């Protein structure tokens, strides 16, 4: 049967192989698209989105598929735009410590490309066990981060330039490829963490950091959440300048605090000794603990992000312990005690009512310490019962921004906060 | 705007802010006719001096009701004319909102009002062992609100980042006159990063009335050296070598011979006589790391032709080294009656080529250019010297200054690294960005300021028509009531 939408998309975006009817496996959070397209350039992506606009198609971007089960399902979905052909480094200026890379490039591939120059994009991409292949564009769109955010910041801090395709097919760039630049609005920050609701990211420029010559991890078991909090506070108040300060609190067993120190061999050796005094013990190793930079949940589980003002981390850990006991659900909590961003995991098989009760407790606990509890991912039954994003400030302005960028509401409709 | 309209608006503002907080006297208004870029002067119709966020919001609402543009101003030290008043508008000056509300070292945060001076944040945090990292050269007088508007940098942003990396929460008055909180004390606030979009928006998206900033632990060790080189080529090579060695210094600053002689004349900083260029390199952090890397930096300077290396033995010597650099802009006044401070960025590796081209332009046009720059991140501050009393020199200096920006664009850089676009560089934006790029940026503007009343004429050379201006939604939307639309 002839399909003129398919023909039109193919004509726009690089021919037969670039666009195909979707399979059930292409579903986004349970919603199947009609077509899947893989443009090979920003220009093809622009033509594709123009064709989609002309036919009022709803569009969702697709990278490494590591987080497509995050956020709300799209209200409608016609076209999945894969970045799998938008890959590779456009420019790596080692002397300037910058890289320009296409959005579909997996972070692991980028790491391998930069390593010979002794450089890195200092972004961790934590994934549930078994995951892999997170792309640059996906990490930026969801603003994921890991332990080393304490030293290097997150995607928003490292991104210096962005190329996007608007829902109407117009290509726009903001920022550039120099680290210091205040010309015009910082659309890179606006796009970071926007979950594909404002534009399709096709290219990113990042500032890079040298790979440190030495690093060491120190691990210390704590008696309880309060002690873990005290240990973390001692490290924060010191001058050892850790690259990461993590805590891992499993449902059964004592929490563990781990510190990453990076620098010169001499410097790291001395800082390890200082940190061991601060922690009153601990084991030093050249490798991270097995739980390092991994979310405390598996595919199909409930995954949460819990944030707090720094001094509130011990209270948040204690509140998580309380919720675990009160609702008899094994809540694993792990994350950056050095920045106040923790992650929580609950089994996917848990009763939705019980999950909702835990989320309500955690919303109250995070609000009390100036933070938020966001359900990043959850089974469908939980999604139906729980507001994934929770209360969000400035929502009216956000709706206005969405209305300007995507007046027809065709980009990932309903995925984001407030139904955006 | 007619005189009657102005009088009515002044009366409305006085009723809210109090008599003393509204200026309408022509002579007094002249005090505010320019910011740090004195070549542009416009006397505002009125000046409002709100003392609280609610007053600031009420002022903006009064402007909206009267259909009058407003411009925010902090200390007025900006170098791009970003706070240049509008002749028919209200200048909203935040300098009387200067309370430090909270210093919370355990949260690594401070909460301050927009009129607080940058350096005062550090002074308030230092007793707790913390400081505020962004350090523009004007940090003794510039305000945090202005820093937020401009996304200010400073010598130490090479390692620590800019204002945008150090602001986690804002309360802002939107161009509708609403008070809205963006971000907060904790990281990763859900929703669009409107905080990130607001910082550096140069007063076109609203006015910050409260700022939550990150505090950084004071480093255990700071070591600073001054290295003299025969020319900027060797100094540039030394900079490249330091970066290539994997060192991330807190700062690397360069000055050329003309800038050195100006600084010497002004503040007697005692830089090595006859140097063609000097580098200031500062490392900070844990003592063990700084000691290990400082030796490398000294060696790399030496290997790249340094004729003299001075290491600051104490804070006083460090201050003297920095004095020459931080006073360089003003110091140029000693060797030239007038000068333009340019602010452009190039990829750092293009430095030798760009400096050669600047020297060529300077020689060809007979206009002297002194060079001061943040060498680590390629942020150039060429100082273009001229004498305004000589016919045609100002225009020539403007041309040279513009040609330098073209060089920056040609090398893939930026027309501003930290001073902002403001009034001064709006005309250069189309050389750096396409019409589509600028149009897309203005979508954000339209979302915040559909009426175009917040600092109009700045940043963008031509305003975008925003389409329908959304009403101030106070009740249920009619479409929603009719069941035709869903409001989220």
Question: What digits encode the pLDDT tens for the residues B79-135?
Answer: 999 999 999 999 999 999 999 999 999 999 999 999 999 999 999 999 999 999 999
**A253 CB burial (10 A radius; 0-12, 13-18, 19+):** exposed
* Nearest by Cα to B414 from B374, B370, B462, B455: B374
Interchain pair A182, B419: CB under 8 A = yes
The H or E element that residue A99 is part of is strand A98-102
Residues 6+ apart with CB under 8 A from B360: none
Q: Do A239 and B440 touch (CB under 8 A)?
A: no
Q: How far apart are CA B411 and CA A177, in angstroms?
A: 10
Q: What is the arithmetic mean of pLDDT over A325-353?
A: 96
Indicate whether A368 pLDDT > 50: yes
State the average pLDDT over residues B294-307: 97
Q: Is A393 on the interface with B (CB under 8 A)?
A: yes
Report the chain B residue with the minimal C-alpha distance to residue A181: B417
A395 contacts B191? CB cut-off 8 A = yes
**A320 neighbors A344 (Cβ within 8 angstroms):** yes
Tens of pLDDT along A37-59? 999 999 999 999 999 999 999 99
Q: Distance (Å, rounded) from C-alpha A169 to C-alpha A10?
A: 15
ipTM here:
0.97
The residue of chain B with its CA nearest to that of A196 is B192
Q: Which residue of A has its CA nearest to B220?
A: A239
Q: How far away is chain A from the Cα of B286, in angstroms, using its nearest Cα?
A: 6
List, as ranges, residues 247-286 from B with C-beta within 8 Å of A: 247-248, 285-286
Q: Which residues in A65-98 are b (16+ Cβ under 10 Å) and which e?
A: bbbbbbbbbbeebbbbbbbbbbbeeeebbbebbb
Class of residue B270 by CB neighbours under 10 A (exposed 0-12, middle 13-18, buried 19+): middle
Closest CA to B91 of B56, B39, B66, B53: B56
Cβ of B240 under 8 Å from any chain A Cβ? yes
Contact (Cβ atoms closer than 8 angstroms) between residue A249 and residue A228: yes
pLDDT above 50 (res B438): yes
Residue B467's pLDDT band (boundaries 50, 70, 90)? confident
Closest CA to A217 of A236, A249, A245: A245
Distant-in-sequence, close-in-space partners of A135: CB < 8 Å, separation ≥ 6: A63, A64, A83, A103, A104, A105, A106, A107
Helix B53-66 / helix B3-17 crossing angle, nearest 10 deg: 160
The predicted pLDDT at position B462 comes to 87
**What percent of chain B has pLDDT above 90?**
87
What distance in Å separates the CA atoms of residue B291 and residue B113, rounded to the nearest whole number? 38
**Mean pLDDT score of chain A:** 95
Contact between B437 and A173 using a beta-carbon 8 Å cutoff: yes
Contact yes or no for A122/A151 (Cβ under 8 A): yes
- What pLDDT shows up at residue B292? 92
Confidence band for A126, pLDDT divided at 50, 70 and 90: confident
Query: What's the rounded Cα separation, in Å, for the pair B68 and B91?
Result: 11
- B480: pLDDT strictly greater than 80: no
Query: Quick one: pLDDT at residue B427?
Result: 96
Per-residue pLDDT, B487: 37
Question: Residue A420: which residues within 8 A CB-CB, separation 6 or more?
Answer: A197, A398, A399, A402, A414, B488
pLDDT tens readout for residues B15-47: 999 999 999 999 999 999 999 998 899 999 999
Q: Report CB contact under 8 Å: A233, B420.
A: no
| B431, B368 contact by CB (below 8 A) | no
With a CB-CB cutoff of 8 Å, which residues 357-376 of chain B face chain A? 374
Residue B26 buriedness (CB in 10 A; 0-12 / 13-18 / 19+): exposed
Q: How far apart are CA A224 and CA B388, in angstroms?
A: 71
pTM comes to 0.96
Q: Which chain B positions have a beta carbon within 8 Å of A192's beta carbon?
A: 193, 196
Optimal mutation site among B191, B216, B425, interface A, most CBs of chain A within 10 A: B191
Which tens digits make up the pLDDT trace of B190-224?
Answer: 999 999 999 999 999 999 999 999 999 999 999 99
Residue B311 has pLDDT above 90, yes or no: yes
The average pLDDT across B290-303 equals 96
For the segment B270-287, what is each residue's pLDDT rounded down to a tens digit? 899 899 999 999 999 999
Which positions ≥6 away from B348 have C-beta within 8 Å? A95, A96, B239, B240, B243, B375, B376, B377, B378
**CA-based diameter of chain B, in Å?**
80
The strand pair at B167-173 and B207-214 is best described as antiparallel
Q: Which of A46, A62, A177, A412 is nearest to B440 (CA)?
A: A46
| Contact flag B164-A186 (C-beta cutoff 8 Å) | yes
pLDDT of residue B469: 55
B448 touches chain A (CB under 8 A): yes
Residue A253 has a pLDDT of: 79
pLDDT recorded at residue A197: 98
Pair A77, A31: CB distance under 8 Å: yes
Range from A350-359, B12-21, B368-377, B467-476 carrying the lowest mean pLDDT:
B467-476
Contact A117, A92 (CB under 8 A): yes
In whole angstroms, what is the distance from residue B344 CA to residue B381 CA? 7
Rounded mean pLDDT of B242-261?
94
Chain-chain contact of B420 with A417 (C-beta, under 8 angstroms): no
- Closest C-alpha to A100, from A90, A88, A112: A90
SS3 A260: strand
Q: How far is A21 from chain B (nearest CA, A)?
A: 31
* Residues in contact with B113: Cβ distance below 8 Å, sequence separation at least 6, in sequence order: B94, B97, B98, B99, B100, B101, B144, B145, B209, B210, B211
Asked whether B132 and B125 are in contact (CB, 8 A), the reply is: yes
Query: What pLDDT shows up at residue B485?
Result: 39
- What the block records as the tokens of A163 is 């190329």
Work out the end-to-end distance of chain A between its first and last CA atoms, rounded to an integer number of angstroms: 35
Give the B window 312-341 contacts with A, CB below 8 Å: none
Give the model confidence (pLDDT) of B388-416 as tens digits: 999 999 999 999 999 999 999 999 999 99
- CB A36 within 8 Å of CB A26: yes
The verdict on B150 touching A (C-beta cutoff 8 Å) is: yes
A266/A272 Cα distance (integer angstroms): 10
pLDDT of residue B472 exceeding 50: no
Helix (H) or strand (E) holding B173: strand B167-173
3-state class (DSSP) for residue B283: strand
Interface of A with B in 307-326 (CB under 8 A): 307-312
**Pairing relationship of beta strands A35-37 and A79-82 according to DSSP bridges:** parallel
Q: Do A176 and B432 touch (CB under 8 A)?
A: yes
Q: Do B248 and A154 touch (CB under 8 A)?
A: no
User: How large is the C-alpha radius of gyration of chain A?
Assistant: 22
d(CA B60, CA B54): 10
Facing residue for B414 by CB, picked from A176, A212, A416:
A176
Helix (H, G, I), strand (E, B) or coil at B233: helix
Residue of B149, B171, B179, B186 for testing the chain A interface, max A β-carbons within 10 Å: B186
Which strand (E) or helix (H) includes residue A141? helix A136-142
Lookup: tokens for A383: 């999604």
Please state, in angstroms and as integers, the Cα–Cα distance from residue A382 to each residue in A159, A365, A377, A386, A413, following that order.
34, 20, 9, 6, 20
Closest CB to A95 among B161, B244, B486: B244
Rg (Cα) of chain B, in Å, rounded? 24
Q: How many CB atoms lie within 10 A of CB A238?
A: 17
Q: How confident is the model at residue B475 (pLDDT cuts 50, 70, 90)?
A: very low
| Strand A79-82 relative to strand A59-62, pairing | parallel
In the block, residue with structure tokens 């008696």? A223
Residues forming a β-bridge with A61: A81
Whether A232 and A258 have beta carbons less than 8 Å apart is answered as no
Strand order in the sheet with A35-37: A19-21, A35-37, A79-82, A59-62
Give the whole-angstrom CA distance, residue A407 versus residue A402.
7
Cβ contact A194:B431 at 8 Å? no
The pLDDT assigned to B328 comes to 86
Q: Band of the pLDDT at A14, cuts 50, 70, 90?
A: confident
Helix B351-365 vs helix B232-244: angle between axes, to the nearest 10 degrees?
160
Query: With 0-12 CB in 10 A as exposed, 13-18 as middle and 19+ as buried, what is B482?
Result: exposed
Residue A71 Cα, gap to closest chain B Cα (Å) = 12
Per residue in B373-391, pLDDT (tens digit) is 999 999 999 999 999 999 9
Q: Which two tokens stand for residue B276?
A: 């063609």
Closest CB to B192 among A177, A312, A398: A398
> Strands across the sheet with A244-249, in order?
A283-285, A214-221, A256-263, A244-249, A332-336, A341-346, A302-307, A373-377
| Nearest residue of A to residue B418, measured between CA atoms | A182
User: Can you give the pLDDT at residue A251?
Assistant: 84
What is the rounded CA–CA span in Å between residue B19 and residue B14? Answer: 5
* Residue in A97, A371, A397 nearest the CB of B194: A397
CB A123, CB A158: distance < 8 Å: yes
Whether B414 and A418 lie within 8 Å, measured CB to CB: no
Does an H or E element contain B111, and which? strand B109-112
Q: What is chain B's mean pLDDT, rounded?
A: 93
DSSP assignment of A133-162 equals: --BHHHHHHHT---TTHHHH--HHHHEEEE
Tell me: the pLDDT tens digits for B316-337? 999 999 999 988 888 888 899 9
């Amino acid at each position: 049967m002839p399909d003129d939408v398919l023909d039109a998309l193919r004509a726009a975006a690089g021919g037969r192989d670039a666009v195909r009817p979707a399979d059930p496996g292409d579903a986004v959070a349970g919603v199947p698209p009609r077509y899947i397209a893989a443009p090979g350039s920003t220009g093809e992506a622009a033509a594709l989105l123009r064709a989609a606009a002309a036919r009022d198609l709803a569009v969702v971007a697709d990278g490494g598929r590591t987080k497509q089960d995050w956020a709300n399902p799209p209200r409608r979905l016609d076209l999945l735009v894969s970045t799998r052909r938008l890959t590779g480094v456009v420019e790596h200026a080692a002397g300037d410590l910058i890289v320009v890379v296409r959005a579909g490039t997996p972070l692991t591939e980028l790491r391998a490309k930069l390593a010979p120059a002794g450089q890195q994009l200092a972004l961790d991409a934590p994934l549930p066990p078994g995951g892999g292949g997170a792309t640059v564009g996906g990490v930026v769109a969801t603003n994921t981060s890991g332990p080393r955010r304490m030293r290097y910041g997150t995607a928003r801090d490292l991104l210096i330039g962005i190329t996007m395709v608007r829902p109407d097919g117009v290509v726009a760039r903001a920022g550039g490829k120099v680290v210091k630049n205040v010309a015009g609005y910082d659309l890179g920050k606006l796009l970071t963490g926007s979950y594909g609701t404002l534009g399709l990211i096709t290219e990113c420029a990042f500032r890079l950091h040298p790979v440190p010559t030495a690093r060491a991890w120190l691990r210390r078991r704590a008696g309880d959440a309060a002690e873990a909090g005290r240990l973390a506070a001692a490290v924060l108040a010191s001058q050892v300048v850790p690259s990461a300060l993590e805590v891992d609190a499993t449902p059964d067993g004592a929490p563990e605090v781990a510190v990453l120190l990076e620098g010169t061999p001499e410097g790291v050796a001395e800082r390890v000794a200082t940190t061991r005094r601060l922690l009153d013990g601990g084991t030093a190793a050249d490798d991270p603990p097995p739980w390092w930079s991994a979310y405390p949940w598996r595919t199909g589980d409930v995954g949460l992000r819990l944030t707090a003002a720094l001094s509130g981390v011990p209270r948040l850990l204690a509140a998580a312990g309380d919720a675990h006991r009160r609702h008899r659900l094994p809540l694993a909590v792990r994350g950056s005690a050095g920045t106040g961003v923790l992650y929580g995991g609950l089994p996917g098989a848990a009763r939705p009512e019980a999950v909702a009760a835990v989320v309500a407790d955690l919303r109250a606990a995070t609000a009390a310490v100036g933070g938020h509890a966001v359900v990043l991912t959850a089974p469908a039954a939980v999604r139906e019962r729980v507001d994934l994003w929770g209360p969000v400030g400035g929502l009216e302005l956000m709706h206005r921004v969405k209305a300007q960028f995507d007046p027809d509401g065709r980009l990932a409709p309903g995925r984001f906060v407030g139904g955006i | 705007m007619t005189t009657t309209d102005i009088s009515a608006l002044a009366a409305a503002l006085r009723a809210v802010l109090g008599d003393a907080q509204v200026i309408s006297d022509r002579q007094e208004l002249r005090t505010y006719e320019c910011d740090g870029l004195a070549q542009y002067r416009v006397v505002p119709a009125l000046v409002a001096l709100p003392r609280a966020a609610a007053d600031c919001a009420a002022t903006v609402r009064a402007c909206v009701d009267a259909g009058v543009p407003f411009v925010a101003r902090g200390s007025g030290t900006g170098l791009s004319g970003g706070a240049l008043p509008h002749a028919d508008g209200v200048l909203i000056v935040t300098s009387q909102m200067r309370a430090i509300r909270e210093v919370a070292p355990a949260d690594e945060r401070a909460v301050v009002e927009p009129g607080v001076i940058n350096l005062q944040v550090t002074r308030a945090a230092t007793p707790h062992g913390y400081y505020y990292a962004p350090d523009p050269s004007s940090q003794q007088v510039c305000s945090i609100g202005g820093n937020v508007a401009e996304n200010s940098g400073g010598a130490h942003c090479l390692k620590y980042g800019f204002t945008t990396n150090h602001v986690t929460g804002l309360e802002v008055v939107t161009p509708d006159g609403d008070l809205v909180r963006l971000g907060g004390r904790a990281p990763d606030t859900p929703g669009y990063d409107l905080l990130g979009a607001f910082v550096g928006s140069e007063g076109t998206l609203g006015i910050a009335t409260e700022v939550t900033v990150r505090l950084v632990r004071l480093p255990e060790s700071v070591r600073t050296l001054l290295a003299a080189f025969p020319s900027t080529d060797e100094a540039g090579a030394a900079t490249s070598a330091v970066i290539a060695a994997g060192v991330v210094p807190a700062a690397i600053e360069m000055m050329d011979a003309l800038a050195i002689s100006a600084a010497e004349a002004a503040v007697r900083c005692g830089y090595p006589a006859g140097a063609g260029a000097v580098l200031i390199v500062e490392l900070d952090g844990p003592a063990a790391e700084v000691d290990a890397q400082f030796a490398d930096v000294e060696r790399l300077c030496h290997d790249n032709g340094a004729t003299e290396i001075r290491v600051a033995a104490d804070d006083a010597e460090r201050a003297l080294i920095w004095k020459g650099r931080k006073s360089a802009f003003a110091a140029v006044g000693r060797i030239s009656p007038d000068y333009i401070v340019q602010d452009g960025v190039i990829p750092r590796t293009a430095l030798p080529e760009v400096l050669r081209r600047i020297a060529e332009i300077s020689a060809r046009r007979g206009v002297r250019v002194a060079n001061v720059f943040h060498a680590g991140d390629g942020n150039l501050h060429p100082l273009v010297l001229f004498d305004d009393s000589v016919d045609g020199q100002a225009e020539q200096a403007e041309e040279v200054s513009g040609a330098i920006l073209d060089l920056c664009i040609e090398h893939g850089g930026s027309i501003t690294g930290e001073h902002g676009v403001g009034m001064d560089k709006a005309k250069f934006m189309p050389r750096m960005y396409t019409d589509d790029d600028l149009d897309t940026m203005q979508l954000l503007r339209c979302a915040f300021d559909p009426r175009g009343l917040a600092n109009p004429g700045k940043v963008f050379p031509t305003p975008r028509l925003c389409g329908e201006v959304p009403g101030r939604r106070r009740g249920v939307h009619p479409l929603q009531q009719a069941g035709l639309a869903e409001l989220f």
